[in-house]
C-alpha cells in the first residue's frame, strides 16, 4: 500500500503537498479560533506539516493518516523535530474509510477528496469522525476562470472542464450539501509557483542521481513538459483553497 512512485519522486522535497505556503497555513490555523487541546483528524495528511505546526503553535493534538510511506516517515520525523511527537501521531494507511476511534473537534481532508470519490463523499466520511458542532476542513481545486476548451482543462491535470467548479460554484456546492462556509484560505499564483516549481527541482535532482532507473524516462518526460504546461494552463486557470465548514 503506497502512493505511485512518480508522485513521491516529484514531491519528495515538499513539506506541504498542496499550493499553500507555511504562512498561509499558520494564518488559517489561527483564523479558526480553536482552543489549545483541539483534537484533529487529518486524512491524507502527507508529510504532516499542517498538523505538526498547529500542534506546536496552537496546542492542537491529533492523528494524520496517509497512504504514502515516505510521507508518513517524514511526518513522524517532523513531529520529533518540532517537539510535538507526544501530541500527534501518524498512521501509514489508506485514508479512505478511516474513522477516528472517538469524535474529533476538527476533521480535515486538505487536497485529497478522491478518498471519498469527490467532495460529497469526503464530507460524509469526515462527518463520521466529527463531534456535533465541530469544524471540517476541505481542500479542493476550483477554476480561477472557466477553461475555454477541454485541452486547457487537461493541461491543468483535469480530465475535463466538468471536474471542477468556479469558486462561487464550489461554495454553493458546500451549501447545497448542508454546510456553512465559515472561513477559507486560497492559494495565489505565488504559492502555486512554490508548489509547482519545487517539483521540477526534485525531479531534476532525482534524474541526476538515478539516470539508469526504470522510472527515468517517465520522470524526464514530465520534467520536459511540466514547466511550460504549468505556465500556459495551470497558473492562469486553476485555483485551490481550503474551506472551513460547519454543518447547519
CB burial of 163-188 (b: ≥16 within 10 Å; e: otherwise) equals: ebbebeebbebbeeeebebeebbbbe
Domains of the chain (ranges; CATH) run 5-143+156-198+239-247 (3.40.50.150)
202-224 pLDDT, tens digit per residue, is: 999 999 999 999 999 999 999 99
pLDDT (tens, 9 = 90+) of the chain, 248 residues, equals 789 999 999 999 999 999 999 999 999 999 999 999 999 999 999 999 999 999 999 999 999 999 999 999 999 999 999 999 999 999 999 999 999 999 999 999 999 999 999 999 999 999 999 999 999 999 999 999 999 999 999 999 999 999 999 999 999 999 999 999 999 999 999 999 999 999 999 999 999 999 999 999 999 999 999 999 999 999 999 999 999 999 99
- The predicted model scores a pTM of 0.96
**What are phi and psi for residue 202, nearest 5 degrees?**
-60, -40
Amino acid at each position: 500500500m503506497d502512493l505511485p512512485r512518480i508522485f513521491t519522486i516529484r514531491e519528495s522535497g515538499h513539506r506541504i503537498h498542496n499550493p499553500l505556503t507555511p504562512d498561509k497555513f499558520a494564518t488559517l490555523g489561527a483564523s479558526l479560533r480553536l482552543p489549545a487541546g483541539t483534537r484533529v483528524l487529518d486524512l491524507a495528511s502527507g508529510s504532516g506539516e499542517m498538523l505538526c505546526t498547529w500542534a506546536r503553535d496552537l496546542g492542537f493534538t491529533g492523528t494524520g493518516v496517509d497512504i504514502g510511506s515516505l510521507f508518513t516517515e517524514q511526518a513522524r520525523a517532523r513531529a520529533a523535530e518540532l517537539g510535538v511527537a507526544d501530541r500527534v501521531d501518524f498512521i501509514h494507511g489508506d485514508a479512505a474509510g478511516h474513522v477516528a476511534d472517538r469524535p474529533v473537534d476538527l476533521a480535515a481532508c486538505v487536497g485529497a477528496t478522491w478518498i471519498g470519490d469527490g467532495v460529497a463523499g469526503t464530507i460524509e466520511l469526515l462527518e463520521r469522525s466529527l463531534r456535533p458542532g465541530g469544524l471540517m476542513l476541505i481542500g479542493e481545486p476550483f477554476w480561477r476562470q472557466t477553461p475555454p476548451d477541454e485541452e486547457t482543462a487537461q493541461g491543468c491535470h483535469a480530465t475535463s472542464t466538468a471536474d471542477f467548479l468556479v469558486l462561487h460554484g464550489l461554495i454553493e456546492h458546500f451549501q447545497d450539501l448542508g454546510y456553512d462556509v465559515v472561513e477559507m484560505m486560497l492559494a495565489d499564483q505565488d504559492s502555486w509557483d512554490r508548489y509547482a516549481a519545487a517539483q521540477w527541482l526534485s525531479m531534476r535532482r532525482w534524474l541526476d542521481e538515478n539516470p539508469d532507473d526504470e522510472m527515468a524516462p517517465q520522470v524526464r518526460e514530465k520534467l520536459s513538459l511540466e514547466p511550460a504546461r504549468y505556465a500556459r494552463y495551470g497558473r492562469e486557470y486553476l485555483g485551490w483553497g481550503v474551506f472551513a465548514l460547519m454543518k447547519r
